Structure 1
């Protein structure tokens, strides 16, 4: 097929000039133009000029040829607006402007033959035939939206596939009878499964797939075709709608397991975790495809917060590609199943798509499958979005969108196979928008007639997708009526047998290496496991080697002058055998890498660090080339992956959480630009990080670094909302720390991989302490034999001086250095300042020892935050509820309760801070 699309894109005056050149000398124009002009039949008479063959060219005919070309281009561009994708009602008029008069043509031209027919593979053809071909290609049960793609090669690849299919015989999609029977078998399973549950468990919520059963055909097609194209692992994220059906008919979860959950016959083991509703649970399996490939399938557990699972799946997929497949992204395919209303309405979908081509978050392209049932809860689609389609976000990354009729399983299968071929070839996202309907209300107990009476009058009389396809196959003679009935009866009997037995052997499953590593860890809620941290110090020789590596650059590398000045300060500390916060942190990563384990870190400015302290990556001052300071430690070291993220919290934190699920032996960190910025990702914190182990028994060692501290920078840059994390603490679900020493931070990070279990770690990380002259640690504190200290006693109180202390100040974080300065200035040896470096799990044993050491002291909790924020409410409840075996009246000193985290006036901040310090020492 010749490609003359360049002509439809050209300006008429340019075409005229090219044609004049062609008439004078055909060699003056490129071969593509010569082929175009040669193609016309110049047999008619005219006075406009001579052709290459010596005949003359009619101007009107040439003009109409270009109009027909414009019409062809318009069908390619806007034909999807006329496609027959809605199975239950007439499409709204989206003004496609594809009428003849839109192009200066009329019915009188329909029987005229045009050379432009070559553009669509017809050769010279009548306008009527050309239009029929374009309608078949672009206005059928699949609407192709792809002209927003700027890459010409991608557009042409898509176009060639579409128009080749339109050129085929009546069996447009080219499927053989075996494929059609497999489609029917999958539809049979999907429809009968839902009907069976509806009959046996009336009124129970299951968020059925009824109306959208061809989702099962689509997923089966994606897996089978994907396996043929090299995909070894499929990671699926989806919400409630159809989840049980996907688990049963795609993932291979046994019917017995599902019926157990409905019957409630299985007594749950609540010794570890609370469980979750059946339509939130995840599942892993292995299946063998018809082509003989064995592939891994994983359905990621999800909460009710729609679309929040999207970045989690992407992070999981990236980790699998990095860890198992040497970053071969063609081996791992993320599949995200959306509802139309959620896809359009939830901002995290935009964030997830926006990160898809970024180096730190690239997963090789995602298949987005939209179960478009034209309603969101009880909201009509025209009240749920402003865009023409729910898939408008696809335009952000120029992803093609295939809109497909949910009652046509062959069209659905063709679209999904088309999508996976495109993904594997171009490694881009692809959207499949399957327009269908929802048979019942939002759940099976909800009456949709209250809110959509007209739509549900249509739906109630509309046959299900299997019946529609069944009749089509029978009419075409592809299957007979008896076979279809036998398939339904057989499947119903199978389900009844499984329900009667409530037992069945699951598919065999071979655990991958990272999964086996998770299985070898301990799930723990035993207080004894948290009483003392394991030793995490390292050999001095390794420390010295890493310090030398970090402080020196390769030959020929010229660091920026400011970097040299920073290193000069660190060298001065090293002369006194001391390390600051940045060096302590980098040393932690370096030792983990030296042990052969990977470290991944992302956030909005993590390479340099928001406060210009980390400088994990520096640039050559002459060539501007980047240098990762933690590369080149040794030949067999782990990989240090550090990425400055897009300006997103929700999606990026979800991505890193997903990444952390893939392997327990990697340290995964996310750092907020300022601590309170994490609240844009509150859903990920509440639904995954703090609760997933209880709900889904999924451990994670994710580290959240949240800069926190009151330095007078205002309400948006002071508090990381420590109180919110402490409120979410229970059952040893996470660790919350507010560390004041570089060495303690070093041990805290190393502890993440040293314990026989994994817990998310939330660190109120410092800002001003990054350069505080007292916030340093002796190198000896990093050495073998040392561990994380949950509580730091006052180093200035002698071992026998505890009884002399009259005032015990218990605190956490930066406020310690303000209190220390006051104590030293006033030479107060009757005051002890004790730091709680770990707030949760509560270091009860260490705290008890502190109070026993200072029996005569009046005890105060001192914090910078307002009384209704920070750790005070949490600490107070511990003492009120006697969670520590000691009788102490604990008073508190803090800013007064406030709606805002901090004042925006520096002078007021200074006054408040001074007042807190004075109160702590009994002076105000």
Structure 2
């Protein structure tokens, strides 16, 4: 940096000269006077610019948002534009053009529609208030999680949908939670009040012959089409559990699937409704925000509406978060953040206008923070004054928004008291009519059809088609130079009579489905290459870095193939893929965990949606979960997909849980799922060691027409069988090796490839052949994990049915452990050898005893 001529002058001297100039410009020499005049002009300009910027960036901190704090208590100098009842945050937006767009539309209103009419806003508020009042009188002891104090959410959502339809949106996909849900479904989406009341009274949500236990009324989904200002918009409200924010990634996934069908992002709008406590407390929100831009997950912006009643159950804001606003997570991205006073209906409607305009113009998230309050406790039978007496004293004195707004409009001459009374009476009449109708409410049986029964079918493919496909995928395009080592890997996938490996079988399954018109979507951490460097679906040019995905270019007539490396998230990404699968039943949707151990980061999605969605909400998914599983001496975090947990969740054919040990079986499982032969999720204990195990190959005939998935793979020597070793997964290869080394011609090995539904008929059929044989279950997992505790009595019952003399199975495996696996390779190998040794050397004299290595 060049030295300044002023750098040798002391600060004290400059300050003295500046003060002298300020007192009398003529008192200083002409050169100094010229300098200070220039600096003065710049200083004034900068001061004005700084003041403008401060209002734009910080005005939201002083905005009149809280309906319980009167204007008189606030500083008089606050400016209307950025510190009124509607405030915008834009300083966090990195993109200059986007930031300027938002500021321009907030400051000028140019491009926004004519404001909502006061009468229409009043009608929405009165309808919301009367709805809650009616249910409170009819069902005083029922939990409904009403919207009292937040009634403005009704005109807010309605205005968003109305403006979205006007902006070209043809479908909205909504996820919400319990607060105010019933009111929104009735007052905005138009659901039958008779049906709703019947459910509140305890009527089942599905026809009597539907084998689903159902869920509470404020969790159920709904599909409808609305006509708003002459335009039609379809609306899908997703079912959700009480786990707050868990539905968020499903909304994004389902919206993305609908957008992929439509070939357009702008016409499909995801909307998520939150509460202030959950939106900052639940990490899945932050995970979902980061899905906004990656190519495999973007939905072109989501509109988020937050019912900010400033309390969570009994927890106050200062205990609930660190950020100034509950919208803090969105400052990480270019989102429009709007805060609005829930007691100013006109401002609420304007916030909706800006949010829709932003999303449609910029393709980014828009957040509306509806600052309101909660007139009752967390639910209607909760007593809030136990914990917040002062707050609820203020709330009790505060007039309801519908009343206050009506008084304001009457005073302004916009409506009359008779108009207000007529609106209230009309709302009450509609509610009473629906209530009366609910007593005799009957389901329309024709609107529900039973789910298709599972279909077993041959899933083999003609040899010439498989050979051609394998050759196509094994040869990089001529314009690419791939890594020399990768070239060798690809060439090994040619079908040459040496057997088909696991990675080849997967590629052939995907490719053959694509050629049959079934789209394939694969998602997860590092799935494109494969966490174990086994796939290489995307080839990178060794010189230019250009990418080529072979499965996307098999044929000009093929279906779409997509493979996406996901952000480092399990919860949001698995939820996204489940939501995608709900919309695209025609697509094979596959999510793979980097290791099966990490899937428990998405346990809420697994527990609440994947395994229970059909039972609670009568919705089905054909999602595939690939969970790499198997003890290989890699420690407790890279060994177990927690098979035992999935088995515990299995009932009523809600899922299929498999542990395939051959490439052919894996091939057939993927094709079964892609062809829709089963209407439930498929949970696969995926291969790790078997990806490259020399014995883990399948001959070509196992893939051809007439072949299918084999629930049990057996090794049965000729001669008398004295012992049966039943197992599942890769330990079968260790047992087979020992079997061969020992020449154990009296021992049969049965691999259970399908653990749920358990192939009991086949198990009984095999065991009938050896009624006097001794029986053992062999596993590598600890005794309290793996399949043993779930299978124990089931296998014994099957053996009894088969007429076995000693029907009780002996356990052979590792002892109970709090951790799935050890981390010392030598110990692991020793333990594994000991398990296998015990399996063959066991005398079985004490049948039913555990033999833990």
Q: How high is the TM-score relative to the length of structure 1?
A: 0.84
Structure-2 residue corresponding to 1:915: 834
Contact in 1 for aligned 2:194/2:436 (Cα 8 Å) = no
Contact in 2 for aligned 1:521/1:757 (Cα 8 Å) = no
Aligned residue among 307, 320, 341 for 2:277: 341
Where 1:386 maps in the other structure, the secondary structure is coil
Q: Counterparts of 1:448 and 1:259 in 2: how far apart (Å)?
A: 26
Q: Counterparts of 1:590 and 1:256 in 2: how far apart (Å)?
A: 50
Q: Counterparts of 1:86 and 1:48 in 2: how far apart (Å)?
A: 56
Aligned residue among 716, 739, 746 for 1:830: 746
Where 2:562 maps in the other structure, the secondary structure is strand
Q: Indicate whether 1:369 and 2:369 are aligned.
A: no
Where 2:175 maps in the other structure, the secondary structure is strand
- Structure 1: which 4+ aligned runs deviate by more than 6 Å? 44-50, 90-94, 503-506
Residues 1:82 and 1:174: Cα distance change in structure 2 (over 3 Å): farther
Where 2:219 maps in the other structure, the secondary structure is coil
Structure 2: gaps spanning 5 or more residues: 5-24, 843-852
Aligned residue among 194, 211, 216 for 1:277: 216
Q: Indicate whether 1:288 and 2:227 are aligned.
A: yes
Structure-2 residue corresponding to 1:31: none
Aligned residue among 206, 224, 235 for 2:162: 224
Structure-1 residue corresponding to 2:183: 245
Q: Counterparts of 2:250 and 2:27 in 1: how far apart (Å)?
A: 67
Contact in 1 for aligned 2:622/2:676 (Cα 8 Å) = no
Q: Displacement of 1:542 after TM fit?
A: 1.6
Contact in 2 for aligned 1:808/1:832 (Cα 8 Å) = yes
Aligned residue among 49, 62, 82 for 1:69: 49
Q: Deviations over 1:795-824 (max 9, x none)?
A: x524xx3xx111111000000000011111
Q: Displacement of 1:284 after TM fit?
A: 0.5
Q: Deviations over 1:158-217 (max 9, x none)?
A: 11122214x99xxxx9856x7222111111211111111111111100000111111111
Q: Indicate whether 1:388 and 2:309 are aligned.
A: no
Contact in 1 for aligned 2:552/2:562 (Cα 8 Å) = no
Structure-2 residue corresponding to 1:708: 629
Structure-1 residue corresponding to 2:579: 658
Residues 1:753 and 1:883: Cα distance change in structure 2 (over 3 Å): farther
Aligned residue among 292, 297, 318 for 1:356: 292
Q: Displacement of 1:882 after TM fit?
A: 5.5
Q: Counterparts of 2:387 and 2:649 in 1: how far apart (Å)?
A: 37
Where 1:832 maps in the other structure, the secondary structure is strand
Cα RMSD after superposing both structures: 2.7
Q: Indicate whether 1:407 and 2:327 are aligned.
A: no
Q: Displacement of 1:92 after TM fit?
A: 14
Structure-2 residue corresponding to 1:144: 88
Contact in 2 for aligned 1:230/1:330 (Cα 8 Å) = yes
Q: Displacement of 1:730 after TM fit?
A: 0.6
Contact in 1 for aligned 2:470/2:493 (Cα 8 Å) = no
Structure-1 residue corresponding to 2:125: 187
Q: Counterparts of 1:503 and 1:335 in 2: how far apart (Å)?
A: 34
How many pairs does the alignment contain? 812
Residues 1:333 and 1:792: Cα distance change in structure 2 (over 3 Å): same
Structure 1: gaps spanning 5 or more residues: 1-12, 14-43, 100-130, 512-518
Q: Displacement of 1:271 after TM fit?
A: 3.8
Q: Displacement of 1:665 after TM fit?
A: 1.3
Q: Counterparts of 2:199 and 2:820 in 1: how far apart (Å)?
A: 45
Q: Counterparts of 1:59 and 1:451 in 2: how far apart (Å)?
A: 58
Residues 1:143 and 1:817: Cα distance change in structure 2 (over 3 Å): same
Q: Indicate whether 1:894 and 2:833 are aligned.
A: no
Q: Indicate whether 1:612 and 2:533 are aligned.
A: yes
**1:197-236 to 2 correspondences below 5 Å:** 197-236=135-174
Q: Counterparts of 1:549 and 1:91 in 2: how far apart (Å)?
A: 72
Q: Counterparts of 1:301 and 1:641 in 2: how far apart (Å)?
A: 27
Q: Counterparts of 1:442 and 1:274 in 2: how far apart (Å)?
A: 26
Q: Indicate whether 1:548 and 2:471 are aligned.
A: yes
Contact in 2 for aligned 1:46/1:57 (Cα 8 Å) = no
Q: Displacement of 1:396 after TM fit?
A: 1.3
Structure-2 residue corresponding to 1:766: 687
Contact in 2 for aligned 1:664/1:758 (Cα 8 Å) = no
**1:158-557 to 2 correspondences below 5 Å:** 158-165=102-109, 175=114, 179-264=117-202, 269=208, 271-290=210-229, 292-323=230-261, 325-326=262-263, 328-502=264-438, 522-524=451-453, 529=454, 533-557=456-480
Structure-2 residue corresponding to 1:719: 640
Residues 1:521 and 1:556: Cα distance change in structure 2 (over 3 Å): farther
Q: Counterparts of 1:45 and 1:321 in 2: how far apart (Å)?
A: 71
Structure-1 residue corresponding to 2:493: 570
Q: Counterparts of 2:317 and 2:459 in 1: how far apart (Å)?
A: 56
**1:771-782 to 2 correspondences below 5 Å:** 771-782=692-703
Q: Displacement of 1:403 after TM fit?
A: 0.6
Q: Counterparts of 1:583 and 1:649 in 2: how far apart (Å)?
A: 26
Where 1:762 maps in the other structure, the secondary structure is strand
Where 1:224 maps in the other structure, the secondary structure is helix
Contact in 2 for aligned 1:255/1:504 (Cα 8 Å) = no
**1:1-80 to 2 correspondences below 5 Å:** 60=40, 63-80=43-60
Residues 1:883 and 1:646: Cα distance change in structure 2 (over 3 Å): farther
Q: Deviations over 1:242-297 (max 9, x none)?
A: 1101110111111111111123356852641110000111001001111x211110
Q: Counterparts of 2:727 and 2:475 in 1: how far apart (Å)?
A: 38
Q: Counterparts of 1:601 and 1:404 in 2: how far apart (Å)?
A: 41
Structure-1 residue corresponding to 2:7: none
Structure-2 residue corresponding to 1:110: none
Aligned residue among 580, 603, 608 for 1:687: 608
Q: How high is the TM-score relative to the length of structure 2?
A: 0.91
Q: Counterparts of 2:417 and 2:469 in 1: how far apart (Å)?
A: 75
Contact in 2 for aligned 1:605/1:644 (Cα 8 Å) = yes
Q: Counterparts of 1:384 and 1:78 in 2: how far apart (Å)?
A: 22
Residues 1:773 and 1:250: Cα distance change in structure 2 (over 3 Å): same
Where 1:522 maps in the other structure, the secondary structure is coil
Structure-1 residue corresponding to 2:560: 639
